[in-house]
Structure 1
Amino acid sequence: MACMKLGSKPEAFHREGHTWMVQPPFNGCTSDNEVQKITTLTACDNLSEIILRVGFFCILMKLHHDLRFCTTGLPSDVAVEIGEMSFNLHKFPLLSRSGLLEKLIENCSNEDGSHCVLQLHELPGGAKAFELVTKFCYGVKIELTSLNIVSLRCAAEYLQMNENYGEGNLIAQTEGFLNEVFSNWVDSIKALGTCEVLPYAEDLHIVSRCIDSLAMKACADPTLFGWPVSGCTNVQSPAGVVLWNGISTVNKPQSVREDWWYGDVSFLSLPFYKRMMQAVELRGMKPERVAGSLIFYAKRYLPLMNRQSSFKDTNHVNPGTTIPTPSEADQRVLLEDIVDLLPNQKGVTSTKFLLRLLRTAMILHTSSLCRENLERRVGAQLDQAVLEDLLIPNMGYSVETLYDIDCVQRILDHFMSVENTAVATASPCIVEEGKLMDGPDFLTPVMLVANLVDGYLAEVAPDVNLKLPKFQSLAAAVPDYARPVNDSIYHAIDLYLKAHPWLIDSEREQICRLMNCQKLSLEASTHAAQNERLPLRVIVQVLFFEQLRLRTTVSGWFFVSDNLANSQDPNDNLGIPKTDGSHQVDPEQGHGAGVDDMRERVLELEKECLSMKQEIQKLVKMKRSWNIIPKMLVFRQKSQRCNSKKSRPCDVKTPLSSSYGHQNDEHGELGN
């Protein structure tokens, strides 16, 4: 800690326990070797006496309750009142050092020179600062520290203790010591903390100078200049440690982390902390470090942040420190200021922290502008969020749903607007350069958000108070191309139908339009074909697309088989004469294993196709819904054509099986 002693009487007094040691080296009441001890504990505990040797006078300072007396063998002729404290002093030592006291004493003194009373209730630093000023005026040594330097500097300026009233006056002395304080990180933090109760320090630019000094040190590397850093006192390796090659590690500096200053500045008040963050940002500090300090500060003074999440990072608040909990109004102001100070760059602040901040803002009922700002920030990087943090409880006064669906809807809409703008800006470049392979890279964030939204829908679907329009709006906000597989959205729809059994068929069909049956996996298609909660039209559509997929697969296998058969002898097709060589391979041996595997796969697909046909026939017999089967529509059209041609003879004889099938068609059954 920086320390300086001022005054012409350095050996005036010091204290040991309850005894003041007086050792004056002056010519006067005592000799140089004489030591006087006067105990401060008397019959009255409120009475203490301090004997000082100043010049040729013996000064007695008494403290009795709220009165201070100073006797030099001469009666007191001026009283200074500051708050509830009164100082009985002498005019000459005061007016010889202070311009303000000189004017006040001249105006107060009467013609007869009687005792005058001065009131300095607005003196910066109060009675403690004036006591040090008084000692300085009487020539008593005072100790300057980082905790009293600001109050002394303000008091000296207020009392006009400049060089016109003596060389080396208090203003010059305190100003020189302030420069030493600003060169030290720890002392600057302590000095800035004392400025919070001294508004006069703003007029003297002490606060701005101190903040600039701290910002400069926070942006620079402390190991380069050797600044004392709190929490990093052990910056050297222990002595006596020798490496295997004989090189000693004595006085080897250790690296200092970039967040070394977070804890120190977190003890500043909010106004000073805001100015500190603005100063480091102007000096070009990385946005990640600024955001880290803001996160540290928020976790220290917002208990709801620590209660709702366990941030597994290195910037944790020491649980041993006892910090008074701010009021709800102070927390609201603090949260709004932190949101304004957060860097605007995407990805600098974690989405997890932003969502926790948004949840806390809803609990504290911050301004709508603050919540909208947080929603935009979360929406810009929604692809980095996790489902656990997106489940924001509904904090509205009219609680309908368990979770705040509207908030997530606004966040999702903002993400889609930003993503659509980015894709629209990048697409012309892709088309121009012909790099179509780079297109899917732009869809990756959308796909992540689609999975996140589908998981969120599955969590909120069991809520019986969730209305169908809200569910549809949230699910439809994600484009179809963002869901390569629709299993997740199908799962959410199934949960919603299960929790809302009172939905009519039209509403069920409406919600099922949110999924694409062609993008269901085999497991999801099998489950959907047996799901009684789905409308019949959707079930048949699922079976139809699955059968179509099966046919495509079988056709692909046969196409591969034909290509293998045609490529058995490529030399004949190319007209290249065969050469006798020892490395010729039998084509049947090369493709025999592949053909066998293909046949087994075809048999499996035929079995699956047969089982699906049986399921379709069962559904058709149960519902008698022939108008949805395309084959029956084609068959009826053929029968109508034959009836229209009865006027002319038919050249083709109708087989018996066709007439049988035609008769069964009248009864609604499939004959062939």
Structure 2
Amino acid sequence: MKNPTATVLWNGIVSDDAKPQPPSDDWWYEDASLLSLSLYKRLIQAVESKGMRPESIAASLIFYARKYLPLMNRQSSFHDTNYVNSGTTISNISEADQRALLEEIVGLLPHQKGVTSSKFLLRLLRTAMILHASPSCRENLEKRVGAQLDQAVLIDLLIPNMGYSVETLYDIDCIQRILDHFISINQASLVSTSPCIIEEGQLMSGTDPLTPITMVANLVDGYLAEVAPDVNLKLPKFQALAAVIPEYARPLDDGIYHAIDVFLKAHPWLTDSEREQLCRLMNCQKLSLEASTHAAQNERLPLRVIVQVLFFEQLRLQPSGNLGLPTKNDVSGQVEPAQDRAVGVDHHDMRERVLELQKECSNMKKELQKLVKTKRSWSILPKRLGFRKKWEPCSPKESKPSDTMAPAPCCNGQQNHENS
């Protein structure tokens, strides 16, 4: 703590009553930002060769970029209302100079993963799209973001579409490329790890190799839910982005189910086959109790998916070894209080609905069995009455074997009448 009795003599030199405070790491950022781009580039290369920490170099580049690139201080998406303080921003720079400055800064960024924040990289990428930077510059930024996509947040991924032919509200193709790069560089670690032996607690602890892909899966599911209301978003593009995430990367499929539900609500003209194809992206067995209850009553889902949800929910509610049959407590009308609190009224209604479906199915089977027995009895009756194929000539035309039963009574009736 600084001594209040200390007095400053001259040029930062204090009296012996207090020790001088060490300078912070950012003391040179402001002074370095006064240099021209060529001199600043030489300075960064020099301090990097002398072994300066990559974090300090990245922070200086961020300070320099925000001072000379006004677009860096604007909102990153339609939903982001947080503005960076632009009081020190120089705005009288031409677009060509800003483009050249941005490309130089991207080339000077340290290559170590995590040194530069994903938020700043995504803002640089959005600015590069606005300024029409070179394809190599944008590809470099996309790969940097893809390498640390698990550190990004949803609001920074919502990059508005700035192409000449704007098809969708957000640039989904860019996020697709970033996601593909993340999967490609993490493919080796994901394949070597068996997802069958990973527990949920290990995923949340952050020590398991599957943790980054799980975080990215939640991020992609949230992104899909944000872009799904766009009526111009086509089904193949939505499917392609969702299908990149492996199935084992999602401990629960509540996120992808929510995105599918939003997409179905915004695209009511989808055919039944397209709805079926869309719902294949989720696993009904990995829905939580709350999501299963919502899906069972969701009229936008195909009937087959609703039946699957009800079936798996019934399996979950019934104890093992007693699938589809009422338990002892159900017969006696007694339900344990703890189970009743966990299941709730909605799940009891769901159980009743499943039991009704099972009852209707069994009734249909009984009716079919009755029809089969009736058909067999009619086929045996003519043989018991002595009707044979010798009465076939009574028919004026040659009939098929299956049709010989119909004219036989007629001929037999005529023969009995003549004999009488």
Q: Same fold (TM over 0.5)?
A: yes
Aligned equivalents of 2:35, 2:274: Cα separation in 1 = 58
Counterpart of 2:175 (choices 401, 408, 424) is: 408
2:179 partner letter: L
SS state at 2:116 partner: coil
SS state at 2:43 partner: helix
Structure-2 change in CA distance of 1:548 and 1:279 (3 Å): same
Shift of 1:332: 0.4
Determine if contact 2:231/2:266 at 8 Å carries over to the other structure.
yes
Aligned equivalents of 2:39, 2:336: Cα separation in 1 = 79
Residue by residue, what CA displacement relative to the aligned partner does 1:72-92 show, whole Å, maximum 9, x if unpaired? xxxxxxxxxxxxxxxxxxxxx
Corresponding position of 1:538: 305
Higher relative contact order (CA 8 A, sep 6+): 2
Corresponding position of 1:447: 214
2:277 partner letter: Q
Corresponding position of 1:98: none
Shift of 1:258: 1.1
SS state at 1:464 partner: coil
Aligned equivalents of 1:373, 1:339: Cα separation in 2 = 8
Determine if contact 2:228/2:262 at 8 Å carries over to the other structure.
yes
Aligned equivalents of 1:540, 1:335: Cα separation in 2 = 54
Q: How many residues align?
A: 354
Structure-2 change in CA distance of 1:642 and 1:372 (3 Å): farther
Aligned equivalents of 1:333, 1:634: Cα separation in 2 = 79
Counterpart of 1:612 (choices 341, 347, 350) is: 350
Aligned equivalents of 1:644, 1:353: Cα separation in 2 = 79
Aligned equivalents of 1:642, 1:374: Cα separation in 2 = 75
Structure-2 change in CA distance of 1:549 and 1:635 (3 Å): farther
Shift of 1:372: 0.4
Aligned equivalents of 1:545, 1:480: Cα separation in 2 = 18
Aligned equivalents of 2:277, 2:189: Cα separation in 1 = 31
Residue by residue, what CA displacement relative to the aligned partner does 1:457-494 show, whole Å, maximum 9, x if unpaired? 11110100000000001111111111111111111111
SS state at 2:74 partner: helix
Shift of 1:378: 0.3
Structure-2 change in CA distance of 1:483 and 1:632 (3 Å): farther
Say whether 1:468 aligns with 2:206.
Answer: no
Say whether 1:514 aligns with 2:252.
Answer: no
Determine if contact 1:409/1:474 at 8 Å carries over to the other structure.
yes
1:305 partner letter: M
Determine if contact 2:272/2:302 at 8 Å carries over to the other structure.
yes
Aligned equivalents of 2:81, 2:110: Cα separation in 1 = 20
Counterpart of 1:600 (choices 319, 327, 337) is: 337
Aligned equivalents of 2:279, 2:137: Cα separation in 1 = 37
Corresponding position of 2:260: 493
Residue by residue, what CA displacement relative to the aligned partner does 1:229-256 show, whole Å, maximum 9, x if unpaired? xxxx86445x5xxxxxxxx624x21110
Structure-2 change in CA distance of 1:275 and 1:642 (3 Å): farther
Say whether 1:249 aligns with 2:249.
Answer: no
2:260 partner letter: I
Aligned equivalents of 1:304, 1:463: Cα separation in 2 = 25
Structure-2 change in CA distance of 1:603 and 1:521 (3 Å): closer
Determine if contact 2:33/2:63 at 8 Å carries over to the other structure.
yes
Shift of 1:447: 1.1
1:343 partner letter: P
Structure-2 change in CA distance of 1:365 and 1:536 (3 Å): same
Corresponding position of 1:505: 272
For 1:306-345, list aligned pairs within 5 A: 306-308=73-75, 319=87, 323=90, 325-345=92-112
**Structure (1 or 2) with the larger CA radius of gyration:** 1
Aligned equivalents of 2:231, 2:353: Cα separation in 1 = 33
Aligned equivalents of 1:286, 1:509: Cα separation in 2 = 53
Aligned equivalents of 2:164, 2:374: Cα separation in 1 = 71
2:168 partner letter: T
Determine if contact 2:70/2:86 at 8 Å carries over to the other structure.
no
Structure-2 change in CA distance of 1:338 and 1:607 (3 Å): closer
Determine if contact 1:299/1:317 at 8 Å carries over to the other structure.
no
Shift of 1:526: 1.1
1:401 partner letter: T
Higher helix share: 2
Corresponding position of 1:483: 250
Shift of 1:384: 0.7
Cα-Cα RMSD: 3.9
Aligned equivalents of 1:466, 1:390: Cα separation in 2 = 16
Corresponding position of 1:365: 132
Structure-2 change in CA distance of 1:311 and 1:525 (3 Å): closer
Corresponding position of 1:552: 319
Counterpart of 1:423 (choices 190, 201, 204) is: 190
Aligned equivalents of 1:363, 1:469: Cα separation in 2 = 27
Counterpart of 1:398 (choices 133, 156, 165) is: 165
Aligned equivalents of 1:606, 1:293: Cα separation in 2 = 56
Determine if contact 1:296/1:317 at 8 Å carries over to the other structure.
no
Determine if contact 1:447/1:483 at 8 Å carries over to the other structure.
yes
Aligned equivalents of 2:172, 2:125: Cα separation in 1 = 14
1:502 partner letter: W
Determine if contact 1:236/1:254 at 8 Å carries over to the other structure.
no
Shift of 1:640: 6.7
Determine if contact 1:464/1:499 at 8 Å carries over to the other structure.
yes
2:273 partner letter: S
Aligned equivalents of 1:435, 1:466: Cα separation in 2 = 35
Aligned equivalents of 2:362, 2:110: Cα separation in 1 = 60
Aligned equivalents of 1:519, 1:435: Cα separation in 2 = 15
Aligned equivalents of 2:70, 2:347: Cα separation in 1 = 61
Corresponding position of 1:264: 31
Aligned equivalents of 1:368, 1:512: Cα separation in 2 = 36
Aligned equivalents of 1:645, 1:249: Cα separation in 2 = 116
Aligned equivalents of 1:634, 1:276: Cα separation in 2 = 87
Determine if contact 1:450/1:483 at 8 Å carries over to the other structure.
yes
Aligned equivalents of 1:415, 1:276: Cα separation in 2 = 32
Residue by residue, what CA displacement relative to the aligned partner does 1:517-557 show, whole Å, maximum 9, x if unpaired? 1111111111111111110000011000000001137969x
Q: What is the percentage of aligned positions where both structures have the same residue?
A: 64
For 1:197-276, list aligned pairs within 5 A: 235-237=12-14, 239=15, 249-250=17-18, 252-276=19-43
Aligned equivalents of 1:535, 1:311: Cα separation in 2 = 38
SS state at 1:308 partner: coil
Structure-2 change in CA distance of 1:637 and 1:375 (3 Å): farther
Determine if contact 2:154/2:219 at 8 Å carries over to the other structure.
yes
Residue by residue, what CA displacement relative to the aligned partner does 1:358-417 show, whole Å, maximum 9, x if unpaired? 000000000000000000000011111111110000010000100000000111111111
Structure-2 change in CA distance of 1:384 and 1:548 (3 Å): same
Structure-2 change in CA distance of 1:535 and 1:254 (3 Å): same
Say whether 1:286 aligns with 2:53.
Answer: yes
Shift of 1:439: 7.7
Aligned equivalents of 1:422, 1:305: Cα separation in 2 = 35
Say whether 1:381 aligns with 2:148.
Answer: yes
1:395 partner letter: M
Unpaired segments ≥5 residues, structure 2: 1-9, 329-333, 380-420
